[in-house]
Chain A
Amino acid sequence: DTGVSQNPRHKITKRGQNVTFRCDPISEHNRLYWYRQTLGQGPEFLTYFQNEAQLEKSRLLSDRFSAERPKGSFSTLEIQRTEQGDSAMYLCASSQDRVAGELFFGEGSRLTVL
């Protein structure tokens, strides 16, 4: 059973550098989501895709953040000019194309900005 895969699992970077995370969803899922989770908090919605279309973006997603899902398969989340406040766990999830469908999460990519 191939679940949601995220890479890298951990990333340590210096402030001002760019980072990119990759998410490979469950193959038959056409919806893909990005969330951010900080210590002691629940996942905060960032954005989601239906196939290759980005349908909604949170106001949390500043112009330093960009997400893509070319060809409706894997997705990337890029953070430019990282800041210490970007340190968090970045979670990817996918779901079937049913409004009541539950989310299947990857194990997350932890970002530490020094």
Chain B
Amino acid sequence: AQSVAQPEDQVNVAEGNPLTVKCTYSVSGNPYLFWYVQYPNRGLQFLLKYITGDNLVKGSYGFEAEFNKSQTSFHLKKPSALVSDSALYFCAVRDPNTGGFKTIFGAGTRLFVKA
């Protein structure tokens, strides 16, 4: 069965510093991986996805994520954090070989960017 782990409940970073939000996954085959963001009182928004190809994928708002198959990780990164990046971030996985269209989400990591 597919699963996602986000080991950090909260990540604190100063504005202008790089940020990393960690994600590891478990699937039986080649995964499709996603990051979503949830701002207060808003619905989840898609940030970026990895399907195949280049291990570094770029997404919205300057975010990027690196797929590492050997470590089964898909960490979210941004070179320079903004206060407005403060939100709840969810990693998600889909196993096209066994899970069809079902997407499984991690528990989320709250990012707090301090001015």
Please report A residues at the B interface, Cβ cutoff 8 Å. 4, 31, 33, 35, 40-45, 48, 50, 55-56, 91, 93, 95, 99-100, 102-108
Tell whether, in the assembled complex, residue B45 and residue A105 are in contact, meaning their CB atoms are under 8 Å apart: yes
Tell whether, in the assembled complex, residue A100 and residue B108 are in contact, meaning their CB atoms are under 8 Å apart: no
* B107 cross-chain contacts in A, Cβ below 8 A: 40-42
* A55 cross-chain contacts in B, Cβ below 8 A: 100-101
Q: Interface 1/0s, chain B 44-69, versus A by CB < 8 A? A: 11100101000000000000000000
Please report B residues at the A interface, Cβ cutoff 8 Å. 4, 6, 32, 34, 36, 41-46, 49, 51, 90, 94, 96, 100-108
* B4 cross-chain contacts in A, Cβ below 8 A: 42
Query: Which of A33, A35, A99, A104 has most B Cβ within 10 Å?
Result: A99
Residue in A33, A45, A91, A104 whose beta carbon sits within 8 Å of that of B46 in the complex:
A104
Tell whether, in the assembled complex, residue B102 and residue A100 are in contact, meaning their CB atoms are under 8 Å apart: no
Identify whether the interface residues of B are mostly helix, strand, loop, or mixed.
Answer: loop
* B102 cross-chain contacts in A, Cβ below 8 A: 45, 48, 56
Chain A: minimal CB distance from B103 (Å): 6
From known contacts A42-B106, A42-B107, A55-B101, infer whether A99 and B45 are also in contact, taking CB-CB under 8 Å: no
Tell whether, in the assembled complex, residue B49 and residue A100 are in contact, meaning their CB atoms are under 8 Å apart: yes
List the A residue with the shortest CB-CB distance to B51: A100
Docked pose: A62 CA to B49 CA in angstroms: 32
Tell whether, in the assembled complex, residue A43 and residue B96 are in contact, meaning their CB atoms are under 8 Å apart: no
From known contacts A41-B108, A42-B108, A99-B32, infer whether A105 and B43 are also in contact, taking CB-CB under 8 Å: yes
Extra inter-chain contacts (15) besides given A55-B100, A102-B46, CB under 8 Å: A31-B101, A40-B108, A41-B107, A43-B44, A43-B105, A45-B105, A48-B101, A56-B100, A99-B32, A99-B100, A100-B94, A103-B34, A104-B46, A105-B36, A105-B43
Question: Could you jot down 6 A-B contacts, CB within 8 Å?
Answer: A45-B104, A48-B101, A99-B96, A100-B49, A105-B43, A107-B42
Docked pose: A21 CA to B41 CA in angstroms: 18
